[in-house]
Amino acid sequence: MDYILTAESLSKHYKHFKALDGFSIHVPRGAIYGFVGKNGAGKTTLIRLICGLQEPTSGNYTLYGTKNTQPEITKCRRKMGAVVETPSIYLNMTAEDNLKEQYRIIGLPSFDDIPNLLQLVGLENTGRKKVKHFSLGMKQRLGIAIALAGNPDLLILDEPVNGLDPQGIIEMRELILKLNQKRQITFLISSHILDELSRLATHYGFIDSGHMVKEISAEELEAACRKCLRIQVSDTNILSLVLDEMDIQYNILSENTADIFAKINISNLTLTLMNKGCEIISLTERGESLESFYLNLIGGGKTNE
């Protein structure tokens, strides 16, 4: 497979804290790669390393087949764009003037492509309106436009829908899909909004405590996501005891709700729970979500294995 970004045994330490520790990643060319992990897991650290904002403590990563230790890595970084944490924009300028400034910074000789770029991100009608009066979604899309200056084929986005309203999330999703499908831009997207990420990603990497726990394609994830029985009961403490006795895997979600990952005899379960003073309130068949898959993978939920 053709990988646009890889890393092997990559580490970044800050005194006694290991932000990345023996980390690996493989981002296929053309993918929308969802980079999933809780706050402090090491997502932003990796992005900073790739962008050249920091140097790794040990190990290597490659961009377009070029190692970070090679002099050519600087040229490779010109083929990528990034929006890290918040867009780097001038609030007292217009969208067009922000792009002109970026063109000057990276040494592009002509502003001719700016109108097309503004149209691509849906900001062609902002005119002389200053960015400080933009909505958060408009600012995020301007940040992507700035990252697109120089026509990169890899975009790194750090929490691109964080804080956006539902309309802004939809606009961001449609923009990412358009750039991926029509311009063949590869995306590495760090996000903790897993439901939205599941609508976009073609591949996933799950990071925890600086380690890559698992990499998986969307197709493999769909096959791996187990069907489950969502059960609501009067007492999940009793339910867990009964399921332990039956050697059935489950995940307790709240005081009254759990997911059961097995085919069970409902009549037998109902009778057993009733004899122990626990009532079944409702039962619903459902597929495992990206969120529950992630929580089970890293041990984020109270799960019986």
Distances (CA, A) of 264 to 234, 245, 261: 19, 13, 9
Same domain? For 193 and 253 the reply is no
CATH code, 280: 3.30.70
For residue 301, the model assigns a pLDDT of 45
Same domain? For 199 and 235 the reply is no
For residue 224, the model assigns a pLDDT of 75
Same domain? For 190 and 254 the reply is no
pLDDT in tens, the chain (305 residues): 899 999 999 999 998 899 999 999 999 999 999 999 988 899 999 999 999 999 999 999 999 999 999 999 999 998 999 998 778 899 999 999 999 999 999 898 899 999 999 999 999 999 999 999 999 999 999 999 999 998 899 999 998 888 888 898 999 999 999 999 999 999 999 988 888 899 999 999 999 999 999 999 999 888 777 778 899 999 999 999 999 999 998 989 999 999 998 888 999 999 999 999 999 999 998 777 788 888 888 875 443 33
Same domain? For 148 and 247 the reply is no
Distances (CA, A) of 42 to 17, 68, 120, 194: 11, 18, 32, 17
Q: What is the pTM (predicted TM-score) of this model?
A: 0.78
Residue 6 CA to residue 25 CA, distance in Å, equals 5
Same domain? For 122 and 264 the reply is no
Do residues 182 and 30 make contact, with C-beta atoms less than 8 angstroms apart? Answer: no
Q: Number of folded domains in the chain?
A: 2
- 298 domain residue, yes or no: no
Distance between the two ends of the chain, CA-based, in angstroms? 34
Lookup: tokens for 53: 């904002």
Same domain? For 206 and 230 the reply is no
In sequence order, which residues have a C-beta less than 8 Å from that of residue 95 and are 6 or more positions away? Answer: 118, 123, 126, 129, 131, 134, 142, 145
CATH code, 60: 3.40.50.300
Bridge partners for 283 per DSSP? 231
For residue 300, the model assigns a pLDDT of 56
Do residues 252 and 236 make contact, with C-beta atoms less than 8 angstroms apart? Answer: yes
For residue 304, the model assigns a pLDDT of 37
Do residues 228 and 261 make contact, with C-beta atoms less than 8 angstroms apart? Answer: yes
Same domain? For 126 and 267 the reply is no
- 84 domain residue, yes or no: yes
Q: Which residue has the tokens 């939920």?
A: 301
Over the range 120-135, which residues count as b (16 or more CB within 10 Å of their CB) and which as e? bbbbeebeeeebeebe
- 237 domain residue, yes or no: yes
- 265 domain residue, yes or no: yes
Fill in the amino acid letter for 244.
Answer: D
Same domain? For 198 and 99 the reply is yes
Tell me which of 153, 183, 215 is where a domain ends.
Answer: 215
For residue 269, the model assigns a pLDDT of 93
Same domain? For 57 and 107 the reply is yes
- 182 domain residue, yes or no: yes
Structural domain boundaries, residue 75: 3-215
- Of 201, 172, 169, nearest to 188 by C-alpha is 201
Same domain? For 179 and 131 the reply is yes
- 300 domain residue, yes or no: no
- 220 domain residue, yes or no: no
Run of H or E including 287: strand 280-287
Same domain? For 209 and 233 the reply is no
- 299 domain residue, yes or no: no
Same domain? For 186 and 146 the reply is yes
